[in-house]
C-alpha cells in the first residue's frame, strides 16, 4: 500500500510518469561527461542546470585539463606576489589563473595555458632578445603600440648587420612545440583612430633571405630561410619545431634570426616577439620558411 502510494505520488495528472531530464542526471555522471569536453564547453554546460554546475566545480574534472607540471607553473604566480593563497585554490581556480598570462623575467616574458586544451604557450618580448645595435637610435627605435601583447616593438630603421638572438630555459610539459618570430614589414602605427603602415624605409630584404635557426640542449636542430616580402601585416615566421620529452626536466632553447650580408643595408622591419605554441596551434597567419 505504502509503495503503491509512493509510485502514485510521482505520477503526473492523467496517470503519466514524468520524464527524467538532464537536471535529474547524477552529478558524478555529469562530471564524467565533462571530462571529454574542453574548458569553454564545460563553462557553457555549467549554466545549463544544477547537476552540471556542481560537476563543473569538481577537482578531478579540471585536474584532467591541467598540465602535469602545473605545480611548477604556479611558482611563477607566487613569484609575481599575486593576492590569494594557493592552498585555497581548487583545480578550477588554478586553471582559470593559468589561462591568463603569467609574467616573469621582469615582465619581458610570459606564459599561459591555451584554454581549449590546456597546453602551454609562451611569448618573449623584443626586450628579452639580444638585438645587434639595439641601443643605437640611428638603427633601432622602441615604439609603443596596441598591436603587441607587450605594448611595444623594436623598429629597425637601417642597419648593415641584422641579427636577433634569444634563449629560453624552461620546463615545458611533454609534447611537440613550434617556435615563431612575430614580424611586420613596414612601420605600423595608428593615426586619428586608423591603422596605417609606412613602407618608406623598407629596403634590403629582397637582396638575400633571412636565416632562422633553432637548437636545444638535448641535440635538436632546425634551420630555414626565406625572403621578407609581404608588408602591411603581422606574420608568424616559423623557425622550427622541438620536442619536450619530460616536464620534470628543463629544456634550453637557442634561436636566432639573421641577415648579416654587409654588402647592403636593410631596414623598415618591426620585431615584436618570439612565440612558442603547441604544434598545430596557429592563431595568426604563419609563413613557413624553406629548409
Q: Predicted confidence band at 117 (pLDDT cuts at 50, 70, 90)?
A: confident
Q: What is the pLDDT of residues 146-195, one digit of tens each?
A: 999 999 999 999 999 999 999 999 999 999 999 999 999 998 777 888 88
What mean pLDDT comes out for the span 239-254?
A: 94
Calpha distance 56→43 (Å, rounded): 7
Q: Which of 44-48, 132-136, 230-234 has the lowest mean pLDDT?
A: 44-48
Calpha distance 181→132 (Å, rounded): 16
Calpha distance 166→151 (Å, rounded): 19
The full set of domains in the chain, from first to last, is: 27-64 (no CATH), 118-287 (2.60.120.260)
Calpha distance 99→116 (Å, rounded): 10
Q: Predicted confidence band at 4 (pLDDT cuts at 50, 70, 90)?
A: very low
What mean pLDDT comes out for the span 130-155?
A: 95
Categorise residue 205: left if φ over 0, alpha if ψ from -120 to 50, beta otherwise: alpha
Amino acid at each position: 500500500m505504502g509503495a503503491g502510494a509512493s509510485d502514485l505520488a510521482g505520477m503526473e495528472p492523467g496517470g503519466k510518469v514524468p520524464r527524467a531530464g538532464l537536471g535529474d542526471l547524477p552529478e558524478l555522471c555529469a562530471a564524467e561527461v565533462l571530462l571529454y569536453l574542453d574548458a569553454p564547453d564545460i563553462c557553457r554546460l555549467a549554466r545549463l542546470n544544477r547537476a552540471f554546475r556542481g560537476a563543473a566545480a569538481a577537482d578531478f574534472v579540471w585536474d584532467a585539463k591541467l598540465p602535469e607540471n602545473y605545480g611548477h607553473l604556479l611558482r611563477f604566480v607566487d613569484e609575481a606576489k599575486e593576492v590569494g593563497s594557493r592552498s585555497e585554490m581548487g583545480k578550477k581556480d588554478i586553471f582559470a589563473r593559468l589561462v591568463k598570462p603569467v609574467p616573469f623575467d621582469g615582465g619581458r616574458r610570459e606564459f599561459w595555458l591555451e584554454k581549449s586544451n590546456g597546453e602551454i604557450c609562451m611569448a618573449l618580448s623584443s626586450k628579452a632578445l639580444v638585438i645587434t645595435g639595439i641601443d643605437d637610435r640611428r638603427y633601432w627605435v622602441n615604439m609603443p603600440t596596441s598591436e603587441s601583447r607587450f605594448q611595444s616593438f623594436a623598429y629597425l630603421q637601417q642597419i648593415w648587420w641584422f641579427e636577433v638572438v634569444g634563449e629560453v630555459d624552461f620546463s615545458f610539459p611533454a609534447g611537440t612545440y613550434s617556435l615563431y618570430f612575430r614580424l611586420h614589414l613596414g612601420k605600423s602605427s595608428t593615426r586619428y583612430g586608423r591603422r596605417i603602415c609606412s613602407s618608406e624605409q623598407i629596403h634590403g630584404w629582397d637582396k638575400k633571405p633571412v636565416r632562422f635557426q633553432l637548437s636545444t640542449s638535448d641535440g635538436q636542430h632546425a634551420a630555414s630561410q626565406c625572403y621578407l616580402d609581404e608588408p602591411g601585416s603581422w606574420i608568424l615566421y616559423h623557425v622550427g619545431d622541438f620536442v619536450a620529452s619530460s616536464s620534470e626536466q628543463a629544456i634550453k632553447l637557442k634561436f636566432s634570426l639573421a641577415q648579416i650580408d654587409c654588402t647592403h643595408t636593410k631596414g623598415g622591419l618591426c620585431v615584436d616577439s618570439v612565440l612558442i605554441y603547441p604544434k598545430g596551434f596557429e592563431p595568426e597567419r604563419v609563413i613557413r620558411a624553406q629548409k
